[in-house]
Amino acid sequence: MTTIQIFDPALCCSSGVCGTDVDQALVNFSSDINWAMKNGAQVERFNLAQQPLAFAENAVVKGFLQRSGVEALPLVLVDGEVALAGRYPLRAELVRWAGITTATEEKPAGSSCSGNRCC
C-alpha cells in the first residue's frame, strides 16, 4: 500500500486548523486528508513544531531542509520520494498517489462528471 507523508511547517496544532486566524488552505487540506483516509489512503502527517525528530531522522526530509530551508515546507513524500513541495496537495493528487478509485471520489457540486471524464 502506498504511504503518503506530509511534513508540515511549524503549526500551532497537529492540523494547523486552530486559533483565530485559520488559513483556508489548511482547512481544505485537512478535509481532503480526512476524506482520503476514509477512502483507504495511508497518510502520515508530521508537524515541525511538535515532531522535529521525524524531520531530522528522515534522510530525504533532512536533505530537503538543508537545501531549501523550512520556508519551502510543506513537503509531501509518496513511498519515501518527494512528490510535492511548497504547497499542500489537491484532493485529485491525493487520489492519484493513494490509488483511490474515482468511483469513490466525491464529485464537485453541480458537476456531471463520470469517472475521469466530464461531460
**Residues 8-45: pLDDT tens digits?**
998 765 555 565 666 788 888 999 999 999 999 999 99
Dihedral angle over CA of 99, 81, 47, 11, nearest 10: -80
Strand ranges, E, within 32-110: 42-47, 75-78, 81-85
The alpha carbon of 71 is separated from its chain's Cα centroid by a whole number of angstroms, namely: 16
Cell 530551508, located at residue: 69
Residue 1 has pLDDT above 50, yes or no: yes
Nearest Cα to 35, choosing from 118, 94, 115, 113?
A: 94
Domains in the chain, CATH or no CATH each: 3-98 (3.40.30.10)
* Secondary structure class of 104 (helix, strand, coil): coil
Q: Which amino acid, 24?
A: Q
pLDDT band at 105 (very low <50, low <70, confident <90, very high): very low
Phi, psi of 24 (to 5 degrees): -60, -30
Q: Which three cell numbers stand for residue 21?
A: 486566524
- Mean pLDDT, rounded, of the chain: 84
| Residues 17, 114: Cα–Cα separation, whole Å | 32
